[in-house]
């Protein structure tokens, strides 16, 4: 249908819109998953920058989607069928709320249950116990090293180790399996002996002086104890070590971090629960708004055929039988649309037949009236001719007296016939209008300046015609319309009166038109004649042809307008003319 996108276009736009919303939905899910991984850490305040970004995104997303949803909602509610569109939109939104409400309740309940499970006291006790075990294990190993160095027999053992390292190391390992390496340095800084795990070996004496304690390396953790002894009259620096796997250190660190996080979350448990629920709703609202967007698109898809049918019906009602609605072959309403198009086509054919029949009937009636009007002057012509012939045959002495009036009568009636036939020809051969932009008041002023001279006692008023009123009409034809109306009005006021013209812009539904009223204070139209005043050859004037108002009606109809008259006998007549308002643009002619 002309003027609006067809149903196929609207369906394509709807499908494209839904596809875009699906893509946004998937992207939104990805954002939620990405932020959920860092949200717990951010919520504890451990990473303020991450917390700020998460909060900004969580607040911005629903605000943006809310603005888009409100804009689309207002935009669509301004379109035709606002009531039905609003009801459908509310219906879809209600469905979205009813479906999202239980899910939101379930999610909040799940969060509360999960929080209760996560922060059970037994979990905190287990984490603290694991941390204590890991610490005690390392302390036990360190204490074993110190116990070996502080034992009474350590001097004898180191004397044996300095003299024969290998057998002495085997003996020490049999007595103390905790020790993984043994290293001795002389007073001058030279290594005396080393046995055990090579990863614990110190490179020089200087390292031995600061080696007491723990040495964390990427692959292992080494616990050392250092003591300086006097062995066989010389001073030896003894280093004993325990080699622990790196996994033990990493596990201990993870336990410590988990315990720290658990303590922080437990301390802000209520606040964290509120923040978590808020996070859920902030990221759920965009999904809810996307659902509303889908509802709006579906509403548009559902209403588009109804809107097109309504507009097509109005066009047909206004006389546009060329209106058709386009649709897809497999559309769910294709059958209804095809039926409408078939109905309009059938109406158009019936209208054409009816117009043809009315045209034939009208011309038959016109022919009958024209024959009657021609027959009327033929009678006096025939009588005058017969009288002249009779006098001539009788050689009447008064022939000279009879001849002039008889010939004068014949000439007058022939002139009446010529005028009748001329006006009939003008009525039958009215040209197709060539409309242009015409200033109404200027055109009326031209007509009034000619016809005001017909009566000095008639005042013509055009004060209620706005100077800016512009029509899209054939200027010459419309001047003829108002010339006929002015002539009739002046003739209806033989004793004088007022002829007033008024123009108003009327807006009705989607149409707008100018209503022009031409009023007089004359004798009015008798009630029995009001239905016939626009009929061809209907007249109450002795010298009238009865074609003036018929021509007025024909010209107005050719301009897709309407004309009618209202009259109260003895108190004047008003002729109303409705003409379509032109589109803005261009100067008036």
Pair 448, 557 in one domain: yes
Is the same domain home to 442 and 417? Answer: no
pLDDT of residue 331: 59
pLDDT bucket at 585, cuts 50 / 70 / 90: very low
What confidence tier does 496 reach under pLDDT thresholds 50, 70, 90? confident
Site of tokens 């990805």? 30
Q: Is residue 462 domain-shared with residue 536, that is, in the same domain?
A: yes
Please identify, among 204, 235, 254, the residue that sits at the C-terminal boundary of a domain: 254
Say whether both 341 and 267 belong to one domain.
Answer: no
Residues 462, 576 within the same domain:
yes
Q: Are residues 172 and 242 in the same domain?
A: yes
Residue 586 lies in a domain: no
Same domain, 390 and 338: yes
Q: Are residues 362 and 444 in the same domain?
A: no
Residue 368 has pLDDT above 50, yes or no: yes
Please name the residues in contact with 210: beta carbons below 8 A apart, sequence gap of 6 or more.
none
Is residue 497 predicted with pLDDT exceeding 60?
yes
Q: Are residue 475 and residue 413 in the same domain, yes or no?
A: no
Using a 10 angstrom Cβ sphere, with 0-12 exposed, 13-18 middle and 19 or more buried, the burial of residue 40 is: middle
Q: Tell me what pLDDT residue 548 has.
A: 79
Domain limits for position 501: 436-580
pLDDT of residue 118: 60
Mean predicted lDDT score pLDDT of the chain? 77
What share of the chain has pLDDT > 70, as a percent? 73
Final residue before a domain boundary, out of 373, 408, 428: 428
| Mean pLDDT, range 84-97, rounded to an integer | 76
Closest by Cα among 514, 508, 447 to 475? 447
- Please give the average per-residue pLDDT across 133-148, as a whole number: 85
On whether residue 321 sits in a domain, the answer given is no
Q: What is the pLDDT of residue 516?
A: 94
pLDDT value at residue 297: 74
Q: What is the DSSP string of 181-236?
A: EEEEE-TTS-EEEEEE-GGG--SSHHHHHT-SEEEE-SSEEEEEEEEEEEETTEEE
pLDDT(9) > 60: no
Please write the tens of the pLDDT for every residue from 293-343.
777 777 777 777 777 777 788 777 777 777 777 666 555 566 777 787 888
Distance between CA atoms of residues 189 and 195, nearest Å: 17
Q: Quote the CA–CA distance of 1 and 563 in Å, as a whole number.
A: 30
Is there a single domain that holds both residue 403 and residue 552?
no
Domain count, the chain: 4
- For the domain that residue 341 is a member of, what is the CATH number? 1.10.287.130
SS (H, E, C) 372-426: HHHHHHHHHHHHHHHHHHHHHHCCCCCHHHHHHHHHHHHHHHHHHHHHHHHHHHH
Question: Is 351 among the domain residues?
Answer: yes
Helical H segments across 429-547, by residue range: 440-451, 475-491
Among 399, 428, 457, the domain-final residue is 428
More confident residue, 5 or 212: 212
Residue 139 lies in a domain: no
Q: Are residues 222 and 273 in the same domain?
A: no
CATH number for 443: 3.30.565.10
Instruction: CATH number of the domain at 207, please.
Output: 3.30.450
**Amino acid 589: pLDDT:** 47
DSSP 3-state assignment of 64?
helix
- Collapsing DSSP to helix, strand or coil, 564 comes out as strand
Q: What is the DSSP string of 302-369?
A: HHHHHHHHHHHHHHHHTT-TT------TT-TTHHHHHHHHHHHHHHHHHHHHHHHHHHHHHHHHHHHH
Q: Over range 494-501, report the average pLDDT.
A: 89
Asked if the structure places residue 2 within a domain, the reply is no
Same domain, 443 and 406: no
Domain for residue 127, yes or no?
no
- Residue 36: the pLDDT is 60
Q: Is residue 537 part of a domain?
A: yes
Residue 466: pLDDT band (50, 70, 90) is: very high
For residue 405, tell me if it sits in a domain.
yes
């Amino acid at each position: 249908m002309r003027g609006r996108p067809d149903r196929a276009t609207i369906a394509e736009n709807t499908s494209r819109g839904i596809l875009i919303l699906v893509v946004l939905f998937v992207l939104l899910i990805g954002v939620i998953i990405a932020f959920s991984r860092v949200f717990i850490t951010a919520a504890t305040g451990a990473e303020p920058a991450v917390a700020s970004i998460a909060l900004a995104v969580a607040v911005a997303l629903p605000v943006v989607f809310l603005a888009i949803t409100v804009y689309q909602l207002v935009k669509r509610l301004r379109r035709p069928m606002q009531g039905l569109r609003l009801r459908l939109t509310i219906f879809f939104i209600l469905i979205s709320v009813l479906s999202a409400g239980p899910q939101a309740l379930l999610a909040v309940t799940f969060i509360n249950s999960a929080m209760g499970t996560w922060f059970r006291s037994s979990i905190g006790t287990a984490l603290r116990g694991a941390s204590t075990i890991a610490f005690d294990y390392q302390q036990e190993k360190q204490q074993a090293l110190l116990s070996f160095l502080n034992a009474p027999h350590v001097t004898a053992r180191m004397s044996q180790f300095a003299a024969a390292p290998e057998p002495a190391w085997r003996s020490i390992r049999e007595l103390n399996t905790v020790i993984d390496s043994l290293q001795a340095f002389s007073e001058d800084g030279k290594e005396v002996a080393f046995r055990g795990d090579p990863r614990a070996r110190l490179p020089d004496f200087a390292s031995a002086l600061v080696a007491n304690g723990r040495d964390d390396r990427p692959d292992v953790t080494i616990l050392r104890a250092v003591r300086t002894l006097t062995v066989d009259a010389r001073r030896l620096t003894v280093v004993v070590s325990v080699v622990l796997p790196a996994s033990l250190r990493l596990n201990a660190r993870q336990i410590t971090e988990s315990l720290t996080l658990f303590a922080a979350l437990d301390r802000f448990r209520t606040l964290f629960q509120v923040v978590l629920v808020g996070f859920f709703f902030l990221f759920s609202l965009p999904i809810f708004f996307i659902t509303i967007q889908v509802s709006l698109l579906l509403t548009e898809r559902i209403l588009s055929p109804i809107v097109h049918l309504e507009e097509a019906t109005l066009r047909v009602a206004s006389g546009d039988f060329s209106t058709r609605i386009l649709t897809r072959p497999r559309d769910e309403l294709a059958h209804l649309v095809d039926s409408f198009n078939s109905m309009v086509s059938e109406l158009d054919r019936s209208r054409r037949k009816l117009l043809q029949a009315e045209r034939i009937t009208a011309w038959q009636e016109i022919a009958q009236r024209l024959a009657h009007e021609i027959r009327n002057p033929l009678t006096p012509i025939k009588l005058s001719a017969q009288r002249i012939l009779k006098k001539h045959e009788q050689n009447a002495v008064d022939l000279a007296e009879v001849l002039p009036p008889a010939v004068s009568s014949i000439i007058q009636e022939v002139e009446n016939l010529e005028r009748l036939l001329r006006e009939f020809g003008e009525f039958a051969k009215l040209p197709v209008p060539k409309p242009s932009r015409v200033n109404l008041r200027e055109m009326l002023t031209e007509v009034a300046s000619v016809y005001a001279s017909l009566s000095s006692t008639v005042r013509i008023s055009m004060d209620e015609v706005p100077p800016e009123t512009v029509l899209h009409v054939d200027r010459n034809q419309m001047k003829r319309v108002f010339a006929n109306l002015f002539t009739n009005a002046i003739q209806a006021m033989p004793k004088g009166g007022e002829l007033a013209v008024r123009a108003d812009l009327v807006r009705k539904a989607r149409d707008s038109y100018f209503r022009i009223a031409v009023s007089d204070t004359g004798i009015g139209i008798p009630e029995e004649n009001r239905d016939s005043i626009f009929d061809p050859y209907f007249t109450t004037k002795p010298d009238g042809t009865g074609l003036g108002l018929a021509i007025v009606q024909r010209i107005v109809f050719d301009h897709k307008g309407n004309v009618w008259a209202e009259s109260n006998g003895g108190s004047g007549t008003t002729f109303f003319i409705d003409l379509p308002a032109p589109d803005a643009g261009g100067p008036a002619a």
